[in-house]
Structure formats: structure tokens, C-alpha cells
Amino acid sequence: MSNSGAQPLSPWRWLGVPLVQVVVATFVFAIPLRFWGLSLPEPLFALPVVFAWAVIRPSMLAPVGVMIMGVYLDLLWGSPLGLWAVCLLLPYGLVLGGRAMLAGQSRLIMWAWFCAATALALGAGYLFTMLDAQNAPDPISVGWQFLATIVLYPFADRLIDLFEDADVRFR
Amino acid sequence: MSYRDNPLGELRVPLTWTAGIVFIVVLITSVAVLLSDRREAFDTDDYGRPRTLSDKVMAPVGDALSTPGRLTGQGVDGVKGYFFAVSENRRLRADLKEMQQWRDVAIALRDTNERYRAALGLKTDPPIPMASARIVTDSRGPFANSRLANAGSEAGVKPGNPVMSENGLVGRVVGVTEGVSRVLLLTDVASRTPVMIDRTNSRAILTGDGGPNPKLEYLRGQDPVRNGDRVLTSGDGGVFPRGLPVGIAVKGLDNRWRVVLASDKAAVDIVRILLFQDFTQVANRAGLEKVQVPLPTPGASTLPPPAPVATLPAAVAATPAARHPPPAPTGAPREQ
């Protein structure tokens, strides 16, 4: 029997590398480029990582990582500081709380959970922005960002596949 | 040895609880940061040190990353220009023919305008200095629409300065540091811009909502706007100068009046930042406060004596104030 499961899971591998990837991917998509008159979409690259972190295992560092990604998004996109930190922490908390229900579920059900997490993040963003700006954001724009984000589930799936069994204490 | 025999296995419950506690602490901290943020403030100090610092770091990175795309676009434009030179030439000739007629009209109007100004003694707005900048990052989400431009305090840019592309108004500067400024777009959910309908002179507030076409709110008057009306800045409130092109009014799918932005005609890569200062910003308030206003004489008229009607120009005589002269002061003796 392989003993690899007993190896401690290095935080840098499952937290640090995905965080850096999110930072880079989000920045690349913030470059002002147009193709045939259309801008690049603006998906939430952080959300697949947030979802996967919550599924893989509870961690003390993960919420801090989620907050760092949220603050980074606020600084890059110019939204109120703390908005995306809160919007990402809420689905993280939801998925972390429902970890027991998610165990052993099919890919389709996991995708449905990911859609629910994305809806929660964007719903919270909608509510907070409405309260802050005294003005309701355009639901169609929110819908586009939702669609652009839920297609990123395969990235979350891959991250879960890579690290779900890396620490058998949290199976 | 079974894994359950490992002493680390006992850490499961405490670690789960600790992770939960850390999550709650981080969430509370984030909510506190969110509640204490003031994004829409014009003052650079309120814009925040973390923002100015991050903008300063992000601007050169964004500039470097967008360079290949920009150069590719320029190359594609060059190739297109080479292959479509004949049709482009034909179109430009037609445009030139039309513009020559407009030039004659413009010269005649300028002449008339100058004579009216001289006759009325109008104090016109001075020319507005500008700073050119390149857009280096762009956020287009539903909750924030802003861009970073690579010109900052060293170019004289200040918070509140209007930003234009070659086609129309783009937004205004909300944060400045050396070498970079953050531009809040007209489409941002926090953006409010006083505008007017060119045809009717009706006023409205252009309100962004994160979508591509901001709304016209607080429209006044009956039938103040029609499809295709030009929308300009009104200059009310002093943030923007009057008359900057904003876009065209259209009826939205939600049955509200919206604006197709003029700046959306082409990619916004190079912008002009107008170093505009309203009279409320340039006025020496301390000096104005020092001026001693004489107390009114009890029983005396505070209105100036009426000017002779013959010396007034025709345009002034046609104004409502001239048609309805002010009533005689109550303290003045009446003719019997």
C-alpha cells in the first residue's frame, strides 16, 4: 500500500500555486483588448479555487487566502475594498459547511453546487453594491458574469481531483 | 501502522473548529473593511494608500502586458489600410466633400458668435489644458467599471478631472498617484453625471448600472427626449465642463431612457484627461471671505437703478427678466 496519503499536504501546493494562478489569470483578462469589437469576458477565476479549497479540506490558511484574492480583485477592478473578499468568503463558508453532503457526489451534482456558490457570490455582490451605490446593478451584466464563471468548473474539478485524497484525515 | 494510529489523526476535530473560527474572524474583518471603505470620494487621501500603491504597481505591469496586443492591433490596422486603400480613399473623398460645406457653415457661425459675444460682453470659458494617457487595465464587471490610465499627478491630473476618448466622454478621475490615475467609467454603478438633451436643453442625471448603456434619470419636462437625441454634459455642479459629447438617447428594453455612449464607437486605448477646474475650485475662497460687504442702509433701496432701455441690445431686451422688470421697492416713494 502506498504511503503517500500520510504525507503532510504542503500549503504552497494546494493554496499558494492556485492563488498565484488566479492573480495572473485575472490580470491577463483585465488587459484592455478587443477582438472583432468585443472585449474579453470577466469571469471570477477565484471562485473555482475557493470552491475547491472548501471541498478539499478545512484549513486555517484557506480563508486568509480567499480574503487576499478578494482584496486583490477589489484593488484591480476598483470595487469597494472588501466587497469581493466578503463575496468569496460567503460561498466558501457555504461549501465548507456542506462538505459532508458533497462527499462522493457525481460531477454533475458538484457542478450544481458550484453554480449555487457562484450565485451566492454574485447575489451578495449585487446586494452590497446596491446598498453602497444606492443603485441596482444591471441584472444582465450579472448574468453574463455568472455564465462566464460557471464554465470554469472543470478547473475546480481538477484541483479537487489533485488534492482531495492528499490528506486522508479529511476524507 | 494504521493511519488512525497516527497521533495526527486526533487533530481532526480541533483543526476543523479552528478553521471555522479563522473563517469567521476573516469574514468579520472583511465586512469591517467593506463598511469602512469610501470608494467614491474625490479626495486622494480618502482614495486610500493601498489603492494608490496598488495602482502604481499594476499600471506598469498592465502596460507591459498590453503592449503585444496593442502592437498586433496596429499591425493589423496597417495591413488593412494597405489592402483597403482604394475604398478608404473613396469614402474619405465623400466625407471631405460634406465637411467642406460644414466648414463654411462653421466659419459663418463663428463670426456671428464672436459678434454676439462682443456685443454682450460675455466672459467665455478659457481653453482647457489636457494630458494624454494610455489605458493599461480595464474592469468590465457588473459591480465596478474602471480603468487605469498611465498619467498621474506629474501631468497635473487631479481627482474629478473629466476623461475623453476621441469620440466622447469616458468618465472621470477618482484616484491619482504619480504616473497613474484611476478612471471611473460612466457605466460604473457609482457614476452620476449631470447631462442635458441637446435638442430640448432638458436636464437629467446619467446613472451607470454596470451595463453598457447607462440610464437617464430625473428627466424633467413633458416629452423631453426622443430616440436619437444627442446627449451632452450640462456642466451643472461644476465637475464637467458644459457641452462634452456623451452619446445618443435610446429607449431601453426595460422601457427606460438609456444612452448609447459615443466613446463605445471604438476601443478606448488612448484618452485625453481634461485638466478642468470649475470656478468653485479656482475661486480664492479665503480672499472672497475677507471682502467686507457694507451693511444695507435702513429704508434705502437695495436694487440698482434701472438702465435706459434704448442702450440695451436687442438680445437682452428679449430675456424674461427684461420683459418683466422687477417691481419697485416698497421703501421707494410712489408716483401719484
Task: Write the CA distances from B282 to B170, B178, B278, B287, integer angstroms.
Answer: 24, 23, 6, 12
The pLDDT assigned to A72 comes to 94
Q: Which residue has the higher pLDDT, B103 or A171?
A: B103
Spell out the residues 6+ positions from residue B24 whose beta carbon is closer than 8 angstroms to its own.
none
Residue with cell 447607462: B214
Q: Is A135 close to B51, i.e. CB distance below 8 A?
A: no
The pLDDT assigned to A134 comes to 87
Q: Which residue has the higher pLDDT, B280 or A163?
A: A163
Question: Minimal Cα distance from A59: which residue of B?
Answer: B19
Stretch A104-127: mean pLDDT, rounded?
Answer: 94
- Count of structural domains within chain B: 1
In a domain, B161, yes or no: yes
Q: Are A107 and A55 contacting, i.e. CB atoms less than 8 angstroms apart? A: no
Nearest to B62 by CA among B130, B133, B131, B154: B133
- Count of structural domains within chain A: 1
**Total-model pTM:** 0.78
The pLDDT assigned to B107 comes to 94
Q: Is A80 close to B66, i.e. CB distance below 8 A?
A: no
Q: What is the DSSP string of B253-267?
A: TTSSEEEEEGGGGS-
The pLDDT assigned to A41 comes to 84
Question: Minimal Cα distance from A28: which residue of B?
Answer: B65
Chosen for mutation from A4, A135, A142 (greatest number of chain B CBs closer than 10 Å) is: A135
In a domain, B182, yes or no: yes
Q: Are B303 and B311 contacting, i.e. CB atoms less than 8 angstroms apart? A: no
Stretch A83-93: mean pLDDT, rounded?
Answer: 95
* Burial readout B224-248 (b: 16 or more C-beta within 10 A, e: otherwise): bbeeebebbbbbeeebbbeebbbbb
In angstroms, rounded to a whole number, what is the distance separating the alpha carbons of residues A66 and B273? 36
Q: Are A81 and A71 contacting, i.e. CB atoms less than 8 angstroms apart? A: yes
- With bands split at pLDDT 50, 70 and 90, how would you rate the model's confidence at A163? confident
Residue with cell 465596478: B144
Termini Cα distance of chain B: 121
A75 touching B (Cβ < 8 Å): yes
Antiparallel, parallel or unpaired: β B162-164 and B169-177: antiparallel
Q: Structural domain of residue B203, as residue ranges?
A: 128-279
Antiparallel, parallel or unpaired: β B146-149 and B180-185: antiparallel
The pLDDT assigned to A7 comes to 57
Rounded to the nearest angstrom, the minimum Cα separation between A46 and chain B is: 14
Q: Which residues of chain B have pLDDT under 70?
A: 1-13, 38-46, 279-285, 288, 291-336
Q: Where are the beta strands (DSSP E) in chain A?
A: 34-35, 38-39
Rounded to the nearest angstrom, the minimum Cα separation between A66 and chain B is: 9
Question: Minimal Cα distance from B51: which residue of A?
Answer: A75
Q: Structural domain of residue A116, as residue ranges?
A: 4-170
Q: Are B175 and B51 contacting, i.e. CB atoms less than 8 angstroms apart? A: yes
**Which residues 97-136 on chain A approach chain B with CB closer than 8 angstroms?**
122, 125-126, 128-129, 132-133, 135-136
In a domain, B37, yes or no: no
DSSP alpha helix (H) spans, chain B: 12-36, 44-47, 49-83, 85-120, 279-282, 285-290, 314-317, 320-323
The pLDDT assigned to B295 comes to 67
The pLDDT assigned to A4 comes to 45
Could you report the per-residue pLDDT of A22-81, keeping only the tens digit for each? 999 999 999 888 777 777 888 999 999 999 999 988 888 999 999 999 999 999 998 888
Nearest to A62 by CA among A108, A101, A99, A113: A99
Q: What is the mean pLDDT of chain A?
A: 88
CATH number at residue B250: 2.40.10.340
Instruction: Please count the other Cβ atoms lying within 10 Å of the Cβ belonging to residue A89.
Output: 26
Spell out the residues 6+ positions from residue B133 whose beta carbon is closer than 8 angstroms to its own.
B149, B150, B151, B155, B181, B270, B271, B272, B273
